[in-house]
Amino acid sequence: MIEDHQLGELQIIVTDEDPAERGGIVVRWLGKSNSPSPDKELGPVLQMAADLAAAGKKKLIFSFQHLDFFNSATISVILRAVRSLRGRPIVLVMRYTEEKRWQKTFFVAFAAAGLDDVDNVQLEVVQL
């Protein structure tokens, strides 16, 4: 594990130790992200993970499938993180599960807006 962050009810674990990821930097989202202004705490964590991925020429994986909830303020932080990758040699994989209806709704909208085509962003559906 590289870092473990507790941000209210949200736990973010950044790791590069998962052999199944074959060298990716994994950002695991656990619990609930319901802070009204998560950018101050969450933004630097996501930036650090992106910097690690770029430095090591690794893919960056946001693993949402065990996340129970995120609010619109968190969505804004995620969208800024995606946009910040423009021009950087990073492949971002965003994993989610269709077993959680709210995740399916968000990521279908994300794809419909064309954001999954920005700078090597890939959406991946996984089973729980």
Question: Parallel, antiparallel, or unpaired for β 92-96 and 60-63?
Answer: parallel
Work out the average pLDDT over 67-95. 91
Work out the average pLDDT over 20-43. 90
Strand partners, 29: 12
CATH 3.30.750.24 at 3-125, yes or no: yes
Work out the average pLDDT over 118-124. 78
pTM (2 d.p.): 0.90
Question: Pick from 50, 52, 72, 55: which is nearest to 120 by CA?
Answer: 50
Question: What is residue 10's predicted lDDT score, i.e. its pLDDT?
Answer: 97
